[in-house]
Chains A and B, each alone.
Chain A
Amino acid sequence: MKAAYRNALHAIDMDESKKNELVDYLSREAAEHTSVVKMPKRSSWRRMLLRVAAAVVACTVMAGGVAYAAGPYMTLSDAFDALFNGAPARTEVMDSIGRPVGAAAYANGVTISADAIIGDASSYSIVYSITWEDGVPDAVAENVVDLYMDGGSHVLGSSGSAGSAYFYDNDPSDNTVHYVEQLFIDSADGIIGRTCTVDFDRILHIAAESADPDSAQTVVAEGGWNLRFTIDYQDESIALPTGQALAIDGRDTTVTALTISPVSLLVEYDVQSGDDTDALAEPQELPAVRDLGTITIVMNDGSRMTFESDTCAASVSMGDGIVHCKLNKIFESAIDLEDVSSIELGGVSIPVH
């Protein structure tokens, strides 16, 4: 029996072609992962934002008598209300591009569930619930904006990611806090239909005045928590005309891709770098090639949504005398693409419809 069992089980192996694909994938992961420029994990403006979000959601619950879901997961509507400042509008947008996830993992008295995901072909926002079975520790309740998640999500087949994340507590009376991850995923073929794995190792409290995550940190929950699900929401991105000539750092630059969705903007461009390609790849030079200045989304009613390109998640690759940049901005509130008139960047205006 032993030999028969062993022989039968050892006959189960991966096909050679799939092994070769796996080697290709892992090689890219090992070689390219460092080319992605990470955004700061948490920032002061975000902390302000989440306090406002918590206040608005709490008022909605009290005034309307609406209760949060009794189960372990936030409802889609609650999750996105919190994500986008409690804005009640855009329900139709959320319905099409947001999805419940419903994956959870437990370790050492703490359950982490991925409640909802919203995004497009190159970025997503995931809302997690973190529930302590014996109540939220004081170190968490009193310092929720200074928490830091050790670990994160990853899309299998992608070459890197960049973005931001933050904690918030929309109901201090319960035993749950929430965590939001907003990531640009660098992937040649998009992310819809791909497997997303989440590996959280620890939750840390880092003293606000400490810039170094390794100092003044306290472990408030020990994992690990591992989740896995398929990204399956609808991508409502619109591809816009490209080929516009820009000038970045005095170098000829051409827009090669431009897409806008209800939740993010992605612009890709090639900077002619010639013999300076290797020099431009140095970390101290990256800010220059990714600097598109102010980017503006102009709405039909004349209102303008602006942000600086250095607040975008960025991916930079180089070769053949060209530096290829991708900049992605996840919006602070979802927009209806029917309301967008044009996009202004690098001194050119690009019509959306």
Chain B
Amino acid sequence: MDARKEAERIVEAYTPIIMRIGYTYLRSKPDAEDLCQETLWKLIRRTPPFDDVEHEKAWVIRASINACKNELKSAARLRTTTLDEALAVGSEVVEEPSDVLQAVQDLPLGYREAIFLHYSEGYKISEIAALVGKSESAVAKDLSRGREMLRKRLGSDFQ
């Protein structure tokens, strides 16, 4: 397969899910776009073959999640923001997320991760545990507590 067709294939196949991962973990669309570039660059340079498409997809998800977690841990994100930078960000026109999406985005990271992978991406608890490197009981607990927090916040909108 030539380079362009391969690039088109992976952008088409994986940009949507990497954007969702980036937005869920980093809470920013521009950061999610950077994550797409970073993850797909790693994918296109990767030489060991994948067993199948599911293997490749699992690799992309794990690589994206790991990149997000490292980004969150990085001292770069802890830098203080100057007033000018804060004003510049504040002046951007940003589309408001829906109440439900905002409520999930406001959850602590572990709960948000479990809710995202289960409800948005359809993974079972055992699959989430393998993807994020946690035990199944820990994922089940995160999912349960996340749901409970959403129920309290959304009230009748939570079903």
Q: Closest CB of chain A to B53's CB: distance in Å?
A: 18
The verdict on A5 contacting B70 (CB below 8 Å), with A26-B7, A29-B45 known, is no
* Candidates B19, B34, B150; contact of A12 at CB < 8 Å: B19
The answer for the CA separation of A19 and B98 in the assembled complex, in Å, is 25
- Residues of A102-132 at the interface with B, using a CB-CB cut-off of 8 Å, are 102-106, 113
Tell me if B75 counts as interface (CB < 8 A to partner A): yes
Tell me if A304 counts as interface (CB < 8 A to partner B): no
- Residues of B35-63 at the interface with A, using a CB-CB cut-off of 8 Å, are 36-38, 40-42, 44-45
Kindly supply a per-residue 1/0 record for chain A positions 190-218, scoring 1 wherever the CB is within 8 Å of any chain B CB and 0 otherwise. Answer: 00000101010000000000000000000
CB atoms of B44 and A228 under 8 A apart: no
Chain A residues whose C-beta falls within 8 Å of the C-beta of B32 in the assembled complex? 12, 14
* Candidates B7, B45, B159; contact of A33 at CB < 8 Å: B45
CB atoms of A105 and B33 under 8 A apart: no
The verdict on A12 contacting B41 (CB below 8 Å), with A5-B120, A6-B119, A228-B70 known, is no
CB atoms of B75 and A9 under 8 A apart: no
Chain A residues whose C-beta falls within 8 Å of the C-beta of B119 in the assembled complex? 2, 5-6
The answer for the CA separation of A106 and B73 in the assembled complex, in Å, is 9
CB atoms of A10 and B3 under 8 A apart: no
Q: Contacting chain A: which of B8-16, B86-94, B136-144? A: B8-16
The answer for the CA separation of A197 and B66 in the assembled complex, in Å, is 13
Tell me if B6 counts as interface (CB < 8 A to partner A): yes
The answer for the CA separation of A154 and B44 in the assembled complex, in Å, is 14
Find the A residue at minimum CB distance from B12: A19
Find the B residue at minimum CB distance from A113: B75
By CB atoms of chain B within 10 A, which of A29, A225, A229 has the most?
A29
By CB atoms of chain B within 10 A, which of A13, A22, A106 has the most?
A22
CB atoms of A103 and B76 under 8 A apart: yes
Chain A residues whose C-beta falls within 8 Å of the C-beta of B45 in the assembled complex? 29-30, 33
CB atoms of B16 and A22 under 8 A apart: no
Binding site for A on B (CB under 8 A): 3-4, 6-8, 10-12, 15-16, 19-20, 23-24, 29, 32-34, 36-38, 40-42, 44-45, 66-67, 70-71, 73-76, 79, 97-98, 100-101, 104, 115-116, 119-120, 150, 154, 157-159
Question: 10 closest pairs, A vs B, by CB?
Answer: A26-B7, A30-B3, A8-B101, A31-B3, A226-B70, A8-B98, A27-B4, A4-B100, A27-B7, A23-B7
- Pairs across A and B, CB under 8 Å, 30 listed: A1-B157, A1-B158, A4-B98, A5-B101, A5-B120, A8-B100, A8-B101, A13-B15, A14-B19, A14-B32, A22-B15, A22-B37, A22-B40, A23-B11, A25-B37, A26-B10, A29-B44, A30-B44, A102-B79, A156-B38, A195-B34, A195-B38, A197-B38, A197-B41, A224-B66, A227-B74, A228-B67, A228-B74, A228-B76, A229-B76
